[in-house]
Amino acid sequence: MVPRMLVLAAVAPLVAVFVLLVLARWPATRAMPAAYLVVVVTALWAWGMTPRVVAAATLRGAMIAISLLWIILPALALLYSLRETGGLRTIRAGFYDISPDPRVQALVVAWLFGSFMEGAAGFGTPAAIAGPLLVALGFPAMAACALALVIQSTPVTFGAVGTPILIGMGEALNVPVVTDALEAANIPYDEFIRAIGARAATVHAVAGLTVPFLVLMVLGRVFGSDRSIRKALGMWRFALFTGLSFVVPYVLFAWVLGPEFPSLLGSLVAMAIVIPAAKRGFMLGGVEPWSFPARREWDPRWTGSLTIPSDSDFATHDEKLISPLRAWSPYILAAVLLVATRLPALRIRPLLESVQLGWDGILGTSLSQSIQPLYLPGTMLAVAALATPLLHKKPVLPAAKKAWRDATITLAPAAFSLLFAVGLVRIFIDSGLNQTGLESMPLYLAGRLAAAVGGAWPAFAPWVGAMGAFVAGSNTVSDLMFALFQYGVAAATGLPVALVLGLQAVGGAAGNMITVHNVVAASATVGLVGEEGSLIRLTLLPMIVYLTIAGLLGVLLAGGLIPALL
């Protein structure tokens, strides 16, 4: 088959997902099975994969989907447990105490708290936790979900205590062609990986300043009572303040401490600065009030099946509110467990990772997949959910039973489409196992793009990372797929290698805004099944803005037009 036809064949599954979800507005329960059939036909007909390998890749995807479901289900169970014990009322009241303005709540909960959860756990945890919290504050489910996805950009490269850099880049580049070149240049491998993270953080720090503004623009244009971007941006000074409060410590931690802590510690520093400032009205004086329309005027597509008691009038509620510290204690417990199990110094991680459920040589192929159930963030969230009634001094069994039952009911519709979404991804990625000698579909597409743009590659490097994340649903997997390719392009064209790899990491992070199974999983946490295409339409433009800024900055840095340590 001629190269042009191969390009069309390889891009067909991606086009099918976009057309069916975004343009045709099919629900994921219909779109993902249809797109799955497209990738199967492409794999068998154009790429020469055998039916056995296709089936093995599908089963591998099913195992990954189970891992994702084990993150979402406990996150929902934790939220519902808080609902049952009354802790959710206190949390909601606490955010009202910070500010009754939904814009401030969005910046604190989605941008800062969501970034903290990404730094601690990764794997889409911000959408699983911040999204439902925003719903509890009175946000439309679609708004909550969209904002939780938009912020999955800047913190993602250093999510799960640096996993995309340490594992994604670290494993992908640990090959002779790279290690030999580093040895010849007398550069330690670990130092090289840290340098990639530092450069990614530098680009993120600039592009990340737009995220608070993008959050406000989505709120104002789509969900505001007057559909006005201008009015939503009336608190632009506070938005800039929240952006700087995060990205300044974020980039400093990346350069000084390495890739484990930029998102985790940067967001903690930011919350310590922003929350007290917001309570005092810092940079909020004279800001015009903003609100959602009355609930009766909401578009029916905005609401999901996640039900939160309507008790916004806290003062008149008969039951006394529990203390804020006790209300937050389950989330504090979850955060402590997530951090403790991921810090190498504590040596807990190897113990948890030693428990694996795996399948080597799936269906007699070279494909394998394993699940580390104790290490997954869902396990820590499950512990926190089960501990919630105890922490809140409520009867354990009734609260836990109802919380887990309701969480299962909410999640069930999304599980079906998630299985097909991840199956599609694995066939696409594993298509290098074929009888034609072709590279895998994502590598083939990236190679054609590199050949077409030549020396302008820094402008396009983030887009390749985003494509990998869109397909694989993970910054880590995107880096595993494309890091060596990006290294080869940079080395062949004489571009700064660490910078180009940093741009790959940035793109892989930004692509999480529209990643199919991230969108499916995020929508599941707020019961918004069937509106995945609408969510992608909301997050597509913010992703394009982010990638454009990253690419432009990459060109300027690579060309020496901006002084930088390259």
Confidence of residue 311 (pLDDT cuts 50, 70, 90): very low
- Cα 33 vs. chain centroid, distance in angstroms? 23
pLDDT average, residue stretch 126-145:
87
pLDDT of residue 455: 77
Better-predicted residue by pLDDT, 209 or 163: 209
pLDDT average, residue stretch 475-487:
88
pLDDT of residue 312: 43
pLDDT of residue 457: 93
Question: C-alpha dihedral over 165, 166, 172, 178, to 10 degrees?
Answer: 100
pLDDT at 139 over 90: yes
Q: pLDDT (tens digit, 9 = 90+) per residue, 395-412?
A: 999 999 999 998 888 778
Q: Which residues of 319-339 are buried (b: 16+ CB within 10 A; e: fewer)?
A: eebbeeebbbbbbebbbebbb
Better-predicted residue by pLDDT, 79 or 296: 296
pLDDT average, residue stretch 455-474:
88
Confidence of residue 563 (pLDDT cuts 50, 70, 90): low
Distances in whole angstroms, Cα of residue 197 to Cα of each of 250, 253, 436, 566 = 11, 10, 36, 12
pLDDT of residue 308: 58
pLDDT of residue 305: 66
Q: pLDDT (tens digit, 9 = 90+) per residue, 4-42?
A: 899 999 999 988 988 888 788 888 788 889 999 999 999
pLDDT average, residue stretch 215-227:
94
pLDDT at 315 over 50: no
pLDDT average, residue stretch 231-237:
95
pLDDT at 309 over 70: no
pLDDT of residue 331: 83
pLDDT at 194 over 50: yes
Residue by residue, DSSP assigns 248-291 as HHHHHHHHHT-TTSHHHHHHHHHHHHHHHHHHTTTTTTTPPP--
Confidence of residue 366 (pLDDT cuts 50, 70, 90): very high
If you average pLDDT over each of 70-74, 186-190, 296-300, 408-412, which comes out highest?
A: 186-190
Confidence of residue 555 (pLDDT cuts 50, 70, 90): very high
Q: Which residues of 67-104 are buried (b: 16+ CB within 10 A; e: fewer)?
A: bbbbbbbbbbbbbbbbbbbbbbbbbbbebeebbebbbb
- Mean pLDDT for the chain? 88
Q: pLDDT (tens digit, 9 = 90+) per residue, 488-530?
A: 888 888 899 999 999 999 999 999 999 877 788 788 778 787 7
If you average pLDDT over each of 3-7, 343-347, 445-449, which comes out highest?
A: 3-7
pLDDT at 279 over 80: yes
Q: pLDDT (tens digit, 9 = 90+) per residue, 150-186?
A: 999 999 999 877 889 988 899 889 888 899 999 999 9
Q: pLDDT (tens digit, 9 = 90+) per residue, 146-160?
A: 999 999 999 999 987
- Contact indicator for 267, 253 with CB cutoff of 8 Å: no
pLDDT of residue 319: 61
If you average pLDDT over each of 209-223, 281-295, 548-562, which comes out highest?
A: 209-223
pLDDT at 477 over 90: no
Euclidean distance between CA atoms 85 and 63, whole angstroms: 33
Q: Please, which residues bridge with residue 369 across strands?
A: 359
Reference 520, options 421, 452, 428; nearest CA is: 421
pLDDT of residue 111: 96
pLDDT of residue 484: 86
pLDDT average, residue stretch 360-380:
90
SS (H, E, C) 546-559: HHHHHHHHHHHHHC
Cβ-proximal residues to 152 (8 Å cutoff; 6+ apart), any chain:
114, 118, 124, 126, 127, 509, 512, 513, 518
Q: Terminus-to-terminus CA distance in the chain, angstroms?
A: 41
Q: pLDDT (tens digit, 9 = 90+) per residue, 52-66?
A: 999 999 999 899 888
Euclidean distance between CA atoms 566 and 560, whole angstroms: 9
